[in-house]
Structure 1
Amino acid sequence: MIHSISKIRVRYAETDRMDVVYHSNYLVWFETARIQMLDQIGIPYREIEARGLFLPVLTVSAAYKSPARFDDHLEIHLFMHKKPRARMHFEYEVRRGEELLATGQSSHGFMDRSGRAQRPPEDLLQKIEAAWAATESI
């Protein structure tokens, strides 16, 4: 398993009139966590795109348990429980301290510039494997 944590401070612009974080911002935070995880394993998303590959969202969902509000300090936990084959699957938890505010999941496929499905590059799979092994040894 790979586990990555991104820290977010809720901006005023992310809230609605009820002082609650607007629901679509959680999806942006999920993306922030994915980009950070790719950086941490040594293959930045910009590098993936430079190779002519993209990771479009195939599915995404979120379940809201308790509202986040302006100026909250949050952690976005990303989990990769399955090693990728043709797709990458992620699960998310949004937490304010120990309190679970939301959960989510997303799946992504690799595609080239013309929109054709691609297999993940071997070096990316190797970096995921190395990150996986490092987590298991802890």
Structure 2
Amino acid sequence: MFVSTTEVTVRYSETDQMGVVYHANYVIWLELGRTKLIEDLGFRYADMEKEGILAPVTDIQVSYKKPCKYGETVTVKTWIESYDGLRTKYGYEILTESGEVAVTGTSSHVCVKKETFRPVSVRRLFPDWHAAYEKAKKQ
């Protein structure tokens, strides 16, 4: 399976009164990881949107294991957990600067037409993207 990595430096504005990253900010970092994975596979989500296709989140699961703190550089690992040509489930790990697992999670998405929100087949509309996802999930 192919795993993409991206680094994030924790900004002061992302922390709460306890000095740790506010829980909702981890979800933003998952999006950064997902975007990086797509780019690492040779595509851009913005190009899909230009074609009138969106990939809304249908489910998200996040487990908090250890806090990340201001000034640390954390690593977001992202991979394709499952993919069937219509739905994609991404897996994530966020590691602290010392390499400990801070967060694990998944997000599920389905591609839809922008105007109707009706599901569409990635396999049919974006065959190159489909092939890359099939290959990435098997590696």
TM-score by length of 1: 0.90
8 Å Cα contact 1:60/1:106 also seen in 2 = yes
The answer to whether the 8 Å contact 2:80/2:136 transfers is no
Identity fraction in percent: 30
5 Å matches for 1:100-119?
100-114=101-115, 115-119=117-121
Q: Which runs of 5+ in 1 are unaligned?
A: none
Q: 1:125/1:23 Cα in 2 relative to 1: closer, same or farther (>3 Å)?
A: same
Runs of at least 4 residues off by over 2 Å: 81-85, 127-133
Q: How does 1:55-70 map to 2 (within 5 A)?
A: 55-70=55-70
RMSD: 1.4
Cα distance in 1 for residues equivalent to 2:136 and 2:79: 12
Unaligned runs of 5+ in 2: none
Rounded to whole Å, the distance in 2 between the matches of 1:81 and 1:58 is 15
Aligned length: 134
Task: State how 1:66-81 maps to structure 2 within 5 Å.
Answer: 66-81=66-81
Structure-1 residue corresponding to 2:128: 123
Q: Tell me by how many angstroms 1:67 deviates.
A: 0.6
SS in structure 2 of the partner of residue 118 of structure 1: coil
Q: Distance in 2 between matches of 1:55 and 1:48?
A: 9
TM-score, with structure 2 as normaliser: 0.90
User: Amino acid of the residue matched to residue 126 of structure 1?
Assistant: A
Contact kept, 8 Å, 1:95 with 1:102, in 2: the verdict is yes
